[in-house]
A and B are shown apart, each in its own frame.
Chain A
């Protein structure tokens, strides 16, 4: 039997934009990679660097944060803070020995369902290209 790698992608989505865009993508019957696990937040400002790192520690192959477009945050600047945190977390991933490309920040408005689908596909493809999260082997070994 061939062992096919199906990436696990975690998406931290803002309630006011990306999450609504995901909803709309469903209503529009848009097809996107089923590998994405959405975590709904009231604002991407809630994302902490530790959430991103823990997702990788627990075996995510790629992680992304999807917030409002710049200047359109419901809480003024939560998305900008998330953007900074993603940039720091990327640096930390590199230090730790993981590929920073496994993590990304997207800005998706509530009406932009095609962009949500595109982001989901892009991150799944990236994870496929990079291969499984190297920590996963350890997780499997430990269980």
Chain B
């Protein structure tokens, strides 16, 4: 899933300062799971903004809505009419969602309430970690299901480097050395021969910006 974090409150307050009627639009998929932009977070942000505005003596109308996904036009369309009644939309989706909402409800200004961080997994309650760089050239078959592009600080395709230290990375003693993990995993799988296999340099042409996938 896409993991994001809410922007600092002061930044959000500052960005919507000029508007009198703001719709907070939540997204019910990835950012809902990582507790950054779902229905609950919309309610909390709305409450915070109402209180801060009241204390500042500002009269701002705050609306709330959460849709299933902001990265799919069909989910945005039912709220477009309502959204157009507002001076601005504060989107609590990832960067992709923010952009599609902006396209669909144009010309209403969109303000992102989150910083989109990475594609990741839930490690434990309230902790999310990056697992995929979306590099467009998946190597996981060779590396025992551990991604060196994401989890090795240097993104080495043929590791480990000299900085590996008892299974930890030289960058931080809290970080696992991805190549130690790969070795251990391949060992368990009885496929250590893959460890000796040379991985050619990454094909950066595989990532075309902006990316596009077409199924036809």
Interface residues of A (CB under 8 A from B): 48-50, 53-54, 56-57, 92, 95-98, 134-135, 138
Complex formed: what's the CA distance from A96 to B12 in Å?
A: 12
- A54: chain B residues at CB < 8 Å are 47
Chain A CB within 8 A of B40 CB: yes
State which residues 1-46 of B face A: CB under 8 Å.
9-10, 40, 43-44
Among candidates A50, A97, A134, residue contacting B47 with C-beta atoms closer than 8 Å: A50
Interface residues of B (CB under 8 A from A): 9-10, 40, 43-44, 47-48, 50-52, 54-56
Query: For residue A139, which residue of chain B has the nearest CB?
Result: B54
Q: Are B55 and A53 in contact (CB under 8 A)?
A: no
- B51: chain A residues at CB < 8 Å are 53, 56-57, 96-98, 135
A134-B55, A135-B55 as given contacts; A95 in contact with B40, CB under 8 Å: no
Complex formed: what's the CA distance from A54 to B51 in Å?
A: 10
- A98: chain B residues at CB < 8 Å are 51, 55
- A96: chain B residues at CB < 8 Å are 9, 48, 51-52, 55
Sample 19 A-B pairs with CB under 8 A, ordered by A number. Answer: A50-B40, A50-B44, A50-B47, A53-B47, A53-B48, A53-B51, A54-B47, A56-B51, A57-B50, A57-B51, A92-B9, A95-B9, A95-B10, A95-B52, A96-B48, A96-B55, A97-B51, A98-B51, A134-B55
Complex formed: what's the CA distance from A138 to B52 in Å?
A: 12
Among candidates B9, B44, B50, B55, residue contacting A49 with C-beta atoms closer than 8 Å: B44
- A95: chain B residues at CB < 8 Å are 9-10, 48, 52
Complex formed: what's the CA distance from A53 to B52 in Å?
A: 12
Q: Are B10 and A97 in contact (CB under 8 A)?
A: no
- B9: chain A residues at CB < 8 Å are 92, 95-96
A57-B50, A95-B9, A95-B48 as given contacts; A50 in contact with B43, CB under 8 Å: yes
Complex formed: what's the CA distance from A50 to B44 in Å?
A: 6
Query: For residue A97, which residue of chain B has the nearest CB?
Result: B55
Complex formed: what's the CA distance from A48 to B35 in Å?
A: 13
- B48: chain A residues at CB < 8 Å are 53, 92, 95-96
* Chain B min CB distance to A18 (Å): 25
- B40: chain A residues at CB < 8 Å are 48-50
Among candidates A49, A50, A97, residue contacting B52 with C-beta atoms closer than 8 Å: A97
* Chain A min CB distance to B52 (Å): 5
- A56: chain B residues at CB < 8 Å are 51
A50-B43, A54-B47, A92-B48 as given contacts; A138 in contact with B54, CB under 8 Å: yes
- A49: chain B residues at CB < 8 Å are 40, 44
Query: For residue B51, which residue of chain A has the nearest CB?
Result: A96
Which are the 4 A-B pairs with shortest beta-carbon distances?
A95-B9, A53-B47, A96-B51, A97-B55
- B55: chain A residues at CB < 8 Å are 96-98, 134-135
